[in-house]
Chain A
C-alpha cells in the first residue's frame, strides 16, 4: 500500500490529480491510499508553492501542474527513495 498525498485546496485541478492517481494505480496494479492535504500550512510543510502538488510516500514529485496518468504510474512503480530529500 502506497500513500499518496494530493496537495491543494480542493479545486477542480486538485480533483483531476486525485482522479489521475486512482487511474494510474489501477493501471499499475498498485494499491494506494490517497490523502488530500488542503490546509495551506500543511501544504507549506511540503515546500509546495504552487498547487496542485503530488507527493508519493511524502516525497514531492510535482507541483504547479496536473501530471498525466502515465507519469504518475511511473512514480507509483518506482522504488521508494531511501531517505526523504
Chain B
C-alpha cells in the first residue's frame, strides 16, 4: 500500500440512497444527497447496485450504521429496494411529504425546494445522532 492510496478501511457510518428518479422530486432527492455527502454528513451510495444484487455493494452497505433512503414520491422505490436486499433504512424521507408537488418528466426544481429537503435530512440525521448519544 503506497502512501498516496486512500485506505477504504473505515466504512462510512451514514450512507445515502436517493431514488434519483425521473421527476423533479427524484432529482431533489438526488441533489440533496449529493450536497450532504459533499458536506461530509455521509457517503452517497449506489442504489442501482443494491437493486442489481451486487453482493459486494450489499455487504459494504451492511458495514454502515445508518442507511438513509430518500424517495421522491410515494412509490418508495429507494426504501423498497433496500428492504428487498434485507437492508431496512434507519432514516426514510419522502420529498412529496415535504409539500413539494411531483411533476413526472419534469427535472427542474428551485433552490428553495432543494433546501427544504436538505434541511429536513439534516434534521433527521441530527435527531439520529442525539438518539445514539
- Using Cβ atoms and an 8 Å threshold, which residues of chain B touch A11? 1, 7, 9
Measured between alpha carbons, how far is A53 from B58 in the docked complex, in Å?
12
Structural contact, A64 and B59, CB atoms closer than 8 A: yes
Chain A 44-77 interface 0/1 with B at a Cβ cutoff of 8 Å (1 = within): 0011111111010001111111000000000000
- Using Cβ atoms and an 8 Å threshold, which residues of chain B touch A7? 56
- Using Cβ atoms and an 8 Å threshold, which residues of chain B touch A14? 9
Measured between alpha carbons, how far is A53 from B57 in the docked complex, in Å?
11
Measured between alpha carbons, how far is A22 from B49 in the docked complex, in Å?
31
Question: Which applies to chain B's interface (DSSP): helix, strand, loop or mixed?
Answer: loop
Structural contact, A38 and B54, CB atoms closer than 8 A: no
Chain B, range 4-18, C-beta contacts under 8 Å to A: 5, 7-12
Contact of A62 among B1, B9, B43, B59 (CB under 8 A): B59
Contact of B5 among A9, A48, A50, A63 (CB under 8 A): A9
A51, chain B: closest CB distance, angstroms:
5
Question: Does B53 count as interface, using CB distance less than 8 angstroms?
Answer: yes
Structural contact, A50 and B55, CB atoms closer than 8 A: no
Residues of chain B at interface, number, CB under 8 A: 22
Structural contact, B59 and A8, CB atoms closer than 8 A: no
- Using Cβ atoms and an 8 Å threshold, which residues of chain B touch A13? 9
Measured between alpha carbons, how far is A43 from B57 in the docked complex, in Å?
11
**Chain B interfacial positions (CB closer than 8 Å to A):** 1, 5, 7-12, 43, 45-46, 49, 53-57, 59-60, 62-64
Q: A38-B1, A51-B9, A53-B60 are in contact. List 6 more A-B contacts (CB 8 A).
A: A8-B9, A11-B7, A49-B56, A51-B7, A63-B63, A64-B59
- 5 closest cross-chain pairs (CB), A and B: A64-B63, A47-B56, A64-B11, A47-B54, A63-B59
